[in-house]
Amino acid sequence: MNKQEQIDIVDQVIKQRCTSKYLADEPLASNLSRTSIEEVIEAANWGPVHLTAAKVHRSEEDDSILPWRFYILQASDCRSLGEVLVSHGDMTKVPNMLAAASALVQVTWLPNPPEDQSQDLLYDPTVENMEHIAAASAAIQNMLLAATARSIPTYWSTGGALRKSDVFAWLGIPEREILLGSIFLFPEEKTGVKVVPGKLRGKKGSTENWVKWVEFS
């Protein structure tokens, strides 16, 4: 492959990545293998990172320096989680998405311990925490692009019910971690699903709307 072909492929994948929310009333069959999910997750490991996770997040069993963690549910576990959410009264679209998903990746970022415990903040507004979020976001974007290249539709969701403490407990996610996104991977096949695009997809405008060239002499 020559340089221009490589550039074209990368640009194409970046532009092809888009939000696709799949909603199913009945559970779909999924044939996305664990190996395919692992390939997509692997891409996240190649993102840029500046600061290491605080020691409070690390242990003998979990000694990664990275300021994020990924919790992966395969399709059958997505179906079970959806059923449990419904049995707990969830009336949102989350169970419908879990009925369609090939996988759900709960991505958390790892905040530094608060300086002042008495302040009731979700996390300290520090540059360090900003950089943890930024690095975790870059990891997610890598994952989305790797999925797109493999024709796996994706959806980055704030999570809704999936960010609640009972869901964290069911999935074994420590409470000190903060959900950055519930990332849905969906099947390519659209039979039996309603597909909803991202609300802002066509509203981004062009770079001219938000780029300022700075001349400094």
Ligand X SMILES: Cc1cc2nc3c(=O)[nH]c(=O)nc-3n(C[C@H](O)[C@H](O)[C@H](O)COP(=O)(O)O)c2cc1C
Interaction site with ligand X (CB under 6 A): 18-19, 156-158, 181, 197-201
State in angstroms the smallest separation of the CB of 70 from ligand X: 15
Residue closer to ligand X by CB (options 27, 181) is: 181
The pair of three-digit structure tokens given for residue 195, joined into one six-digit string: 């597909």
Residue closer to ligand X by CB (options 58, 70) is: 70
CA atoms within 13 A on the CB side of 3: 0
How far apart CA 144 and CA 140 sit, in angstroms, is 6
State in angstroms the smallest separation of the CB of 117 from ligand X: 27
Query: By the 8 A CB rule, do 109 and 140 touch?
Result: no
Query: By the 8 A CB rule, do 146 and 39 touch?
Result: yes
State in angstroms the smallest separation of the CB of 95 from ligand X: 15
Residue closer to ligand X by CB (options 156, 186) is: 156
What residue number has its CB nearest to ligand X?
A: 198
CA atoms within 13 A on the CB side of 57: 21
How far apart CA 171 and CA 166 sit, in angstroms, is 9
Q: What's the Rg (C-alpha) of the chain?
A: 19
Residue closer to ligand X by CB (options 12, 76) is: 12
Residue closer to ligand X by CB (options 155, 168) is: 155
Query: By the 8 A CB rule, do 100 and 187 touch?
Result: yes
3-state secondary structure of 144: helix
Query: By the 8 A CB rule, do 141 and 47 touch?
Result: yes
Residue closer to ligand X by CB (options 47, 181) is: 181
| Phi/psi of residue 109, nearest 5 degrees | -115, 160
State in angstroms the smallest separation of the CB of 93 from ligand X: 9
How far apart CA 174 and CA 186 sit, in angstroms, is 26
State in angstroms the smallest separation of the CB of 181 from ligand X: 6
State in angstroms the smallest separation of the CB of 144 from ligand X: 8
